Amino acid sequence: MSELENFHEKRNPSIRLQKYIADCGITSRRRAEEYILQGRVLLNGKIVKELGTKVDPDIDLVIVDGNPIDPNSVTKVYLVLNKPRGYVTTLNDPEGRKTVKDLINFLPERIYPVGRLDYLSEGLLIMTNDGEIANMIMHPKHNITKVYEVKVFGSVSFGMLKKIQAGIELDGDFVKPLSVRVVKQLPTKTWLEFRLAEGKNREIRRLCESFGVIIDKLKRVAIEGIHIQGIAPGKCVFLTKKELLKYLGVDHNGNKVSDQKFISLKKSIDVYKKGVMPGTSADDRAFQIFKKETYYQTITVLKEKKEEELAAIPRMPGANEKSNYRKR
What letter does residue 283 receive in the DSSP assignment? T
- Contact (Cβ atoms closer than 8 angstroms) between residue 74 and residue 129: yes
Q: Angle at CA 212, nearest 5°, toward 294 and 297? A: 10
Task: Name the 3-class secondary structure at 96.
Answer: coil
Is 118 among the residues known to form the active site? yes
Handedness of CA 232, 238, 241, 243 (dihedral sign): negative
| Contact between residue 60 and residue 17 where contact means Cβ atoms under 8 Å apart | no
Q: Round to whole Å and give the CA distance between 176 and 169.
A: 9
Cα–Cα–Cα angle for 101, 95, 223, rounded to 5 degrees: 40
Candidate list 60, 65, 93, 118, residue with the active-site label: 118
Nearest alpha-carbon partner for 223 in 197, 258, 200? 197
- According to DSSP, the β-strands at 15-16 and 54-55 are antiparallel
Q: In terms of DSSP bridges, do strands 215-223 and 121-128 run parallel, antiparallel, or are they unpaired?
A: parallel
Nearest to 243, CA basis, from 216, 266, 224: 224
Query: Looking at the annotation, which residues are catalytic?
Result: 118
